[in-house]
Structure 1
Amino acid sequence: MGSNRRSVPDYWKWFTEGRYGAFIHWGPYAEYGRGEQSLFREHMDQREYEERACRWNPQRFDPQQWAYVIRKAGMKYACFTTRHHDGYCMWDTKYTDYSSGRQAPRRDYVKEFAEAFRAEGLRIGLYYSWTDWRIPAFFDGPDKDPDGWEAMRRYMHGQVEELLTNYGPIDHFFFDGAWPRTYADLGSTELLEKMRRLQPHILINNRLGAAGPGQAGHADGGQGAGERADMGDFGTPEHRIVADPDRLWESCQVTTWRLWGYANGERWRPADVWLDMLCECAETGGGGGGNLLLNVGPQPDGQLPPEFAERALEVGRWLDVHGEAVYGTDGGALTDFVTRGRQTMKGNCLYLIIRFWDGRPELRLADMTSPVRSVTLLTTGQPLAFERQGDDLLIRGLPSERPTRLFPVIKVECEGKPETNAWGKQRLWAGDPGRIADWARTRGTSVYAGGAIP
Structure 2
Amino acid sequence: MTKKRSNKKARQQSWLSSGLLALLILLFSTGYSQSEKQDTIPLLHGAHRIGKRMDVDMNRWRGYGLGQFIHWGLYSILGGDYNGKHYNGAAEWIRSWNQLPNAVYDSLYKQFNPKDFNADKWAAMAKQMGVKYVTITTKHHDGFCLWPSKYTSYNISNTPYKKDIIKQIVDAYTKVGIDVYLYFSVMDWHNPDWRYDLKSASDTIAFNKFKKFTQSQLEEQLRMYPQIKGFWFDGTWDNSWKKSGAFSDSLDQDLKRIHPGLIIGSRLRADDYGKRHFDSNGRLMGDYEQGWERTIPETFADTHGNDWECDMTIPENGWGYAKQWMGHWKTSDELIEMLAKCVSLDGNFVLNFGPKPNGTFRQKEVADAKAIGDWMKINNTAIYNCAHVNWEKQDWGYFTTPTSQDDKVYMIVFNVPVSGALRVLPTKNILLKKAYLLDGDKQLSIEKLDGSAYFVHLPNEGQKQPFVVVLETEKGKNGKQDINKHI
Aligned partner of residue 252 in structure 1, secondary structure: strand
TM-score normalised per structure 1:
0.83
- Which residue does the alignment assign to 1:272? 333
Residue 201 in structure 1 maps to residue 268 in structure 2: no
Q: CA deviation at 1:232?
A: 1.3
Q: CA deviation at 1:96?
A: 0.7
- Which residue does the alignment assign to 2:226? 168
- Which residue does the alignment assign to 1:95? 151
1: CA distance, partners of 2:157 / 2:413:
48
1: CA distance, partners of 2:35 / 2:434:
29
Unpaired runs of 5+ residues, structure 2, are 1-33, 37-50, 81-90, 481-487
1: CA distance, partners of 2:308 / 2:153:
35
Q: CA deviation at 1:388?
A: 2.1
Unpaired runs of 5+ residues, structure 1, are 217-221, 422-454
2: CA distance, partners of 1:112 / 1:63:
6
Q: Given that residues 278 and 285 in structure 2 are in contact (C-alpha distance below 8 angstroms), is that contact kept between their aligned partners in structure 1?
A: no
- Which residue does the alignment assign to 1:192? 252
2: CA distance, partners of 1:136 / 1:100:
19
Q: CA deviation at 1:42?
A: 4.5
- Write the deviation string for residues 304-340 of structure 1: whole angstroms up to 9, x where unpaired: 2221111112111111111111111121451231x21
- Which residue does the alignment assign to 1:233? 287
1: CA distance, partners of 2:358 / 2:422:
50
- Write the deviation string for residues 56-105 of structure 1: whole angstroms up to 9, x where unpaired: 11111111000000111011010000000000000010001101122221
Q: CA deviation at 1:127?
A: 0.3
- Which residue does the alignment assign to 1:247? 306
- Which residue does the alignment assign to 1:15? 61
Aligned partner of residue 81 in structure 1, secondary structure: strand
2: CA distance, partners of 1:162 / 1:363:
54
Residue 408 in structure 1 maps to residue 458 in structure 2: no
- Which residue does the alignment assign to 2:207? 149
Q: CA deviation at 1:143?
A: 4.3
- Write the deviation string for residues 327-354 of structure 1: whole angstroms up to 9, x where unpaired: 11121451231x2122112321122221
The residue identity in structure 2 corresponding to 1:149 is F
1: CA distance, partners of 2:434 / 2:409:
11
Aligned partner of residue 138 in structure 2, secondary structure: strand
- Which residue does the alignment assign to 1:290? 347
Q: 2:460 aligns with which of 390, 396, 399?
A: 399
2: CA distance, partners of 1:141 / 1:148:
11
Q: Given that residues 141 and 189 in structure 2 are in contact (C-alpha distance below 8 angstroms), is that contact kept between their aligned partners in structure 1?
A: yes
- Write the deviation string for residues 236-273 of structure 1: whole angstroms up to 9, x where unpaired: 12111235425321111112221000111215311011
Size of the alignment, in residue pairs? 404
1: CA distance, partners of 2:269 / 2:420:
54
- Which residue does the alignment assign to 2:388? 331
Which has the larger displacement, 239-248 or 86-95? 239-248
The 5 A counterparts of 1:363-382 are 363-367=422-426, 369-382=429-442
Q: Given that residues 422 and 458 in structure 2 are in contact (C-alpha distance below 8 angstroms), is that contact kept between their aligned partners in structure 1?
A: no
- Write the deviation string for residues 158-177 of structure 1: whole angstroms up to 9, x where unpaired: 00001111112211210100
Q: Given that residues 52 and 287 in structure 2 are in contact (C-alpha distance below 8 angstroms), is that contact kept between their aligned partners in structure 1?
A: no
C-alpha distance 252-223 of structure 1, shift in aligned 2 (>3 A): farther
1: CA distance, partners of 2:331 / 2:35:
33
Q: 2:117 aligns with which of 54, 61, 68?
A: 61
2: CA distance, partners of 1:409 / 1:173:
33
Q: 1:317 aligns with which of 374, 395, 413?
A: 374
- Write the deviation string for residues 197-230 of structure 1: whole angstroms up to 9, x where unpaired: 22101110111244367756xxxxx669x9x944
2: CA distance, partners of 1:175 / 1:198:
17
TM-score normalised per structure 2:
0.77
Residue 77 in structure 1 maps to residue 133 in structure 2: yes
The residue identity in structure 2 corresponding to 1:265 is Q
C-alpha distance 271-10 of structure 1, shift in aligned 2 (>3 A): same
Structure showing greater Rg: 2
Identity over the aligned pairs, expressed in percent? 26
Q: CA deviation at 1:139?
A: 2.1
Aligned partner of residue 291 in structure 1, secondary structure: strand
Q: Given that residues 244 and 270 in structure 2 are in contact (C-alpha distance below 8 angstroms), is that contact kept between their aligned partners in structure 1?
A: no
The residue identity in structure 2 corresponding to 1:282 is V
- Write the deviation string for residues 88-135 of structure 1: whole angstroms up to 9, x where unpaired: 000010001101122221111111110010011100100000001123
Q: 1:211 aligns with which of 271, 276, 283?
A: 271
